[in-house]
Amino acid sequence: MNRRNLIMGAVALSGASLSDATFSARADTIASTRPAADKRRYVSPAVEATIVRMRLAIADPKLAALFEACYPNTLDTTVEMGEVDGKPDAFVITGDIEALWLRDSSAQVWPYLPLAKDDAALRLLFHGVIQRQARCILIDPYANAFLKDPAAMTTLKWSIGDLTTMKPGVAERKWEIDSLCYPIRLAYGYLSATGDKAPFDDTWRAAMHAILRTFREQQRKDGPGPYSFQRKAEAPTETLALGGYGSPTRKVGLIHSGFRPSDDACTYPFLIPSNHFAVVSLRQLAAMAEATGLDAAFARDCLALAAEVETALLAHGLIDDGHDKKVGGGKMWAYEVDGFGNTLFMDDANVPSLLALPYLGALSADDPIYRATRRAAWSERNPYFFRGKAGEGIGGPHEGLRLIWPMSLMVRILTSSDDAEIRASLDILKSTDAGTGLMHEAFDEDNPAVFTRPWFAWANGLFGETLLDLHARKPHLLN
């Protein structure tokens, strides 16, 4: 399935079953659309116990059924375990595309981190994902997606003719800053949650050195660097201008990104949410350096680059709010800039986004500049904010106008303390699954039966994470 294709109409998912007979006795229960137990790819006792606990804690039967199907979707449908050189290997596909995205695979398993310390099956999974990602980065740190077979050439139809240096094992070679941030976030989260150092071997350490080197290269202080990309495509967001290097910039210390986390080309190469994410990731990498065998000099280099990028963000990433001068000092964050003074304000549903900056640890949700940015992003000032009969939310150019991404509603909840705002977002989420019992990539603002990607594991996992977050900090909204 082409990542950009629109799937029209509701999808009937087979194999619906309840995970525990307890639920079938409840008159108000809606059966989940989980695959039958013998069809599930990977099982975690801690995840199964969490499903039972949450189904009893969530009063709304529709939300409860959605949680049961969505939260374990990555384990149920996308994981293939194996071994490489005697070490665990986990290949995690996005869902309807048979490839591993560094971003998606990290985000897909992230909701299980709090359970990993006491669940050997989850520790094995995380060990395998961290190791697989490290090997992928060493194949090509500029690639965003990879094949299971490291010796194979891409099987993705839209990537086969790309004008770039395609290596064996690479599925797609779109340079996105966040592709290297997410594996750091996952490694840091795993070490923090478990204290387990087993995944962090020489291969992993070499991959971390490759990440730091690539971030430095893409500051482009000494020329355009080794990466370029062009694609013959109808959509201009599928290729980079000026010989595949992207629009020109003034070298100010920010890191260039060819593409956004939506896999769409940047208009201006300094993608502000991704540069914020890089600052967070570099500091996390420095913080875990000693525990994982990375030396002190490497940690200092990470901190130095993080400080340089942060300084450049403050100097070049802020724009005039233009509306609310009292909040945020009249400033808000741009989405993209070029260092010459040209800026783009919008937001995209894919994470990292401006809306998601507190979720990623880049800013406080109470930060006045973030609050101003958030209001603008969730309004008609954002050209990719849509409001219709089915609900409201943020989309993006990847799938086009009118299409709201459920992910934006989940991020809105995860970064909100407003009960009314959270309830409104939950109501939209539970009423726009088109009867499938799962989250989708995007749905039409007026008709949720028109949607894209019926099998999109990242969105499903993020929904589960969202409800777990609410159960922890605002349980009254669920019970």
Average pLDDT over every residue of 444-465: 98
**Axis crossing angle, helix 120-139 with helix 45-57, rounded to the nearest 10:** 110
The CATH-assigned architecture of domain 21-477 is Alpha/alpha barrel (1.50)
Question: What's the pLDDT band for 21 if we cut at 50, 70, 90?
Answer: very low
66 vs 18: which has the higher pLDDT:
66
> For residue 294, what are its two tokens?
């990375």
Nearest to 129 by CA among 181, 65, 82: 82
Q: What is the mean pLDDT of residues 434-452?
A: 98
Is residue 191 scored above 80 in pLDDT?
A: yes
pLDDT of 17: 36
Sequence ranges of the domains in the chain:
21-477
Contact 81, 94 (CB under 8 A): no
* Preceding peptide of 352 cis, ω within 30°: yes
Q: What is the pLDDT of residue 30?
A: 81
pLDDT for position 330: 85
What percent of the chain stands above pLDDT 90?
Answer: 91
Categorize the per-residue pLDDT at 29 as very low, low, confident or very high, splitting at 50, 70 and 90: low
pLDDT in tens, 332-343: 999 999 999 999
Q: Which has more confidence, 315 or 326?
A: 315
Q: Give which of 448, 445, 422, 421 is closest to 433, Cα–Cα.
A: 448
Q: How far is CA 433 from CA 18, 216, 450, in A?
A: 18, 42, 10
Is residue 429 within 8 A of residue 463, CB to CB? The reply is yes
pLDDT at 323: 60
Does the pLDDT value for residue 10 go beyond 90? no
* C-alpha dihedral, 160 to 162 to 167 to 172, nearest 10°: -80
Band of the pLDDT at 327, cuts 50, 70, 90?
very low
Average pLDDT, whole number, for the chain? Answer: 93
**22 pLDDT more than 60:** no
What are the CA-CA distances from residue 313 to residues 28, 154, 335 (Å)? 51, 36, 11
Which residues does residue 403 pair with via DSSP β-bridges, in sequence order?
444
DSSP reduced 3-state for 331: strand
Residue 42, CA atoms < 13 Å, CB-side half-sphere: 27
For residue 234, is pLDDT > 80?
A: yes
| pLDDT tens digits along 404-436 | 999 999 999 999 999 999 999 999 999 999 999
Structure tokens at 406: 């459920």
Q: How confident is the model over 225-248, as a mean pLDDT?
A: 97
Query: pLDDT tens, 279-288?
Result: 999 999 999 9
Choose between 17 and 259: higher pLDDT. 259
User: Strand 392-394 relative to strand 403-404: parallel, antiparallel, unpaired?
Assistant: unpaired
Average pLDDT over residues 98-115: 98
The two three-digit tokens of residue 121, written as one number: 């099956």
Q: What pLDDT, on the 0 to 100 scale, is given for residue 13?
A: 30
How confident is the model over 389-417, as a mean pLDDT?
98
Q: Please report the pLDDT score of residue 28 as a whole number.
A: 53
